[in-house]
Structure 1
Amino acid sequence: MACAGPIIITAVPHRHIQTPIPFHFPPMARAFLGSTPSSSLLTTSRLSSFTPSLITNQRRRSLRLTTAAVVAMSEFPSEKPIQPHPSLEVIGGGRDRFLPALKDLNLPYKPFPVIGWNRHLETIFASFYRSCPDVRFRRECLRAADNGTVALDWVVGDDLRLPIDAPVLILLPGLTGGSQDSYVRHMLVRARDRGWRAVVFNSRGCGNSPVTTPQFYSASFLGDMREVVEHVTKRYPKANVYAVGWSLGGNILVNYLGQDSLSCPLSGAVSLCNPFDLVVADEDFRKGFNNVYDKALARALRRIFSKHADLFNDMPGEFNIPLAANARTVREYDDALTRVSFGFNSVDEYYSKSSSSKFIKDVKIPLLCIQAANDPIAPDRGVPREDIKANPNCLLIVTPKGGHLGWVAGPSAPLGNPWTDPFVIDFLVYLESQESKASASSTDLTAAETLV
């Protein structure tokens, strides 16, 4: 059923449970490409209070700077360069430009004992046992041009607390993921504590969003992304807008940044656990223990499909509805439904043409990519290092451990936020501060030119 208007969704707090960390995991009934089990043991945390910044009347500007602004920025003293710790791989054409934002990169990456030493153990532990902050959402259902529907979950009360020019952060969860997921909520809370407005972009059918047409979403479909970004930028025209994507959400985000590079209004972005090369990811996904993730994710996709299967009755073309309803692997599901919906001749063509590794060279805004070298689902060999090195707008951080959406390390481990969260926020806050300096300098120069 389509949403007729905003819906208030209240996340029910879980009772805090003080128990030793278990090492015998329950049967995996949910996917690990960005989806948190709703029945897992979760701890809660409350949103911290903050003092909103003063509302200004000055219109915010994009990071695409004028020549005058660039000249003015050169007058600011440069920050002391950071030397990343040898345990981290830090490369990219934007390395020198963005390293001042990440001051803690000089510290070693230390996986949490036992949990962080095995990529599968870390991936499963984070999915089932990471704490999930208690957040109340106001849902906005956005009807797309083709009558499809996506759900935007805004934090209740932010419009009353935050100024109209507060920066906005769009969050893109992984495949089958949504605003219910712990890694999404941790990022949302951290951004909100810094005075940012955050919104979760739940793709069609995800996060209990309605499905109103016989089409879900895919790794390469950018129609919904474009409409969401346009909607958010029009709603907050005085604010800079940024985005963070995880796993498949990261692949969609980088595809958007590269393919729409000349028209993208975002001021910066972060990609985490991006599979990048979907052909490579598909190859590894069907090997060894990864079969467990494959089957779990296929179950999650079948559940979403079964809720809306009637929409696909009597569909023309090559749709294989029985196979989609009973798919045992992600590849079977994509072959039966996804690649047909989006006009690909084969599932291999779909994976090849949907890989964001092909488009990262064209990204024109600041982009931070964080990967784990031992990620079982987003293989390290699929990371397009050479294109990242050649792009002056990109920075890549690769940790030696982390699993997929795990990163059980740092002061909040093992139950708190991922190791990556502070670096993501520091990067985005740095971009916002640099944009503010450039905007102020550009305004001063314009005023001076007017006087002349």
Structure 2
Amino acid sequence: MQRLAMDLRMLSRELSLYLEHQVRVGFFGSGLGLSLILGFSVAYACYYLSSIAKKPQLVTGGESFSRFLQDHCPVVTETYYPTVWCWESRGQTLLRPFITSKPPVQYRNELIKTADGGQISLDWFDNDNSTCYMDASTRPTILLLPGLTGTSKESYILHMIHLSEELGYRCVVFNNRGVAGENLLTPRTYCCANTEDLETVIHHVHSLYPSAPFLAAGVSMGGCNFSVGWNTFACSEHRHMFVKQVDMDHVMKAKSIREFDKRFTSVMFGYRTIDDYYTDASPNRRLKSVGIPVLCLNSVDDVFSPSHAIPIETAKQNPNVALVLTSYGGHIGFLEGIWPRQSTYMDRVFKQFVQAMVEHGHELS
């Protein structure tokens, strides 16, 4: 109760200061209007602190992983305070790309070949100015996997790179085929279930820096850590590559993601039915076999990945898996603060976890 009272006083003070700068008493003709607004603000603050601001649920399959996170990644056990004027899931999901900043990042592009004759675009941030890891051969490498139709230019990717730069790490962004401006050399893009391109990228990056710590962070359809969900491939501009394989006129008339998957994605990757594709694309089917420490952050109000689909019971059976579940945050939202431009809760989880794994990961061995 004492902590709740302190939070209430702090939030009431923030709201009062905000209103003092935004609301002119003269507009109401008297102090009555401002008093009503302040009264409403206090009532809203009570509701916010009692029903909105909550500690996330931490689900782990092993006591050692739980202790590791509490010791080295404390943000996953701290109260998450969503932005007071934008905590609802759809608002968080829609506003994040427009509110958060886009830190400038200079990439080095690399195109690598695949076994089927295609190519993959990798955008590197080498961080050669790192003072913590001046030896490039041992500089920690973070592989970043964007979400559906996402590239290295997404704001959440840029923020992850900025945070990695502060830690002295190197980053490489895996752009799925056909989404980053490179030529599509084969009639194949990507889907939720196929990992061949990802395996190619992992082997390539590891071969370049075999002595460097190697971690990965995926968002949404990237599927490793943040807002893991069911979304899959969306149509790109490379229509001419697929005319011999599928009826593109029929595909373009699809009115839902499921129709598109049925007419295009499942056909392109050889699935007999759309249900076969969706079954194979479900990450929870592979959760039991995860053999390295994995932390996944999801909001239970995610508009794309419903709470009933989160594999809580499966996670409890694997000591290498930890789920952090917030009550609010939407899909890749996790906005916090009065004006959440520079950082989100997801950013803080990312920074603390990758740093914990680089500096203390040996404790989990």
The RMSD of aligned alpha carbons is 2.4
- What is the aligned partner in structure 2 of residue 273 from structure 1? 227
Which amino acid is the alignment partner of residue 149 of structure 1?
Q
- What is the aligned partner in structure 2 of residue 340 from structure 1? 267
The CA deviation string for residues 276-304 of structure 1, in whole angstroms up to 9 with x for no partner, is xx4xx7xxxxxxxxxxxxxxx99xx33x1
- Check the 8 A contact 1:323/1:332 in 2, yes or no: no
- Check the 8 A contact 2:262/2:274 in 1, yes or no: yes
Give matches, 1:213-362, under 5 Å: 213-250=186-223, 253=224, 271-275=225-229, 278=230, 301-302=234-235, 304=236, 307-315=237-245, 319-362=246-289
- What is the aligned partner in structure 2 of residue 126 from structure 1? 96
Secondary structure in structure 1 of the residue aligned to 2:292: coil
Q: How far apart are 1:103 and its partner, in Å?
A: 2.1
Which amino acid is the alignment partner of residue 326 of structure 2?
T
Give matches, 1:154-233, under 5 Å: 154-155=124-125, 158-159=127-128, 161=130, 162-163=134-135, 164-233=137-206
- Check the 8 A contact 2:143/2:215 in 1, yes or no: yes
Which amino acid is the alignment partner of residue 422 of structure 1?
R
- Check the 8 A contact 2:54/2:327 in 1, yes or no: no
The CA deviation string for residues 238-289 of structure 1, in whole angstroms up to 9 with x for no partner, is 1011000011111xx4xxxxxxxxxxxxxxxxx11011xx4xx7xxxxxxxx
- Check the 8 A contact 1:410/1:419 in 2, yes or no: no
Kindly tell me: are residues 404 and 438 of structure 1, through their superposed partners in 2, closer, same or farther at Cα, counting changes over 3 Å? Answer: closer
Q: How far apart are 1:200 and its partner, in Å?
A: 0.6
CA distance in 1, matches of 2:364, 2:77: 28
Please point out which of 422, 425, 442 is paired with 2:351. Answer: 425
Which amino acid is the alignment partner of residue 236 of structure 1?
Y
Q: How far apart are 1:336 and its partner, in Å?
A: 1.4
CA distance in 2, matches of 1:99, 1:351: 35
- What is the aligned partner in structure 2 of residue 76 from structure 1? none
- Check the 8 A contact 2:96/2:335 in 1, yes or no: yes
Q: With structure 1 as the length reference, what TM-score do the two structures score?
A: 0.64
- Check the 8 A contact 2:117/2:186 in 1, yes or no: yes
Q: How far apart are 1:337 and its partner, in Å?
A: 1.3
Q: How far apart are 1:330 and its partner, in Å?
A: 1.6
Secondary structure in structure 2 of the residue aligned to 1:207: coil
- What is the aligned partner in structure 1 of residue 58 from structure 2? 90
Look at both structures and tell me which one has the larger radius of gyration over its CA atoms.
Answer: 2
- What is the aligned partner in structure 2 of residue 414 from structure 1? 340
Please point out which of 329, 333, 341 is paired with 1:402. Answer: 329
Q: How far apart are 1:320 and its partner, in Å?
A: 2.6
Q: How far apart are 1:428 and its partner, in Å?
A: 1.7
CA distance in 2, matches of 1:391, 1:234: 29
Which amino acid is the alignment partner of residue 396 of structure 1?
L
The CA deviation string for residues 382-432 of structure 1, in whole angstroms up to 9 with x for no partner, is 010011111111111111110111001158x42222212122221121122
Structure 1: gaps (5+ residues):
1-19, 22-84, 254-270, 282-296, 440-452
Kindly tell me: are residues 86 and 110 of structure 1, through their superposed partners in 2, closer, same or farther at Cα, counting changes over 3 Å? Answer: closer
Give matches, 1:52-67, under 5 Å: none
The CA deviation string for residues 327-359 of structure 1, in whole angstroms up to 9 with x for no partner, is 332222211111011111111211111101001
Which amino acid is the alignment partner of residue 181 of structure 1?
E
Aligned residues: 308
Which amino acid is the alignment partner of residue 141 of structure 1?
L
Q: Which moved more, 1:98-107 or 1:120-129?
A: 98-107
Which amino acid is the alignment partner of residue 338 of structure 1?
T
- Check the 8 A contact 1:202/1:209 in 2, yes or no: no
Q: With structure 2 as the length reference, what TM-score do the two structures score?
A: 0.79
- What is the aligned partner in structure 2 of residue 266 from structure 1? none
Which amino acid is the alignment partner of residue 101 of structure 2?
S
Which amino acid is the alignment partner of residue 146 of structure 1?
D
Which amino acid is the alignment partner of residue 207 of structure 2?
K
CA distance in 1, matches of 2:264, 2:75: 44
Report sequence identity in percent: 30
CA distance in 2, matches of 1:225, 1:330: 23
Q: How far apart are 1:128 and its partner, in Å?
A: 2.5
Please point out which of 123, 148, 151 is paired with 2:121. Answer: 151
- Check the 8 A contact 1:152/1:200 in 2, yes or no: yes
- What is the aligned partner in structure 2 of residue 29 from structure 1? none
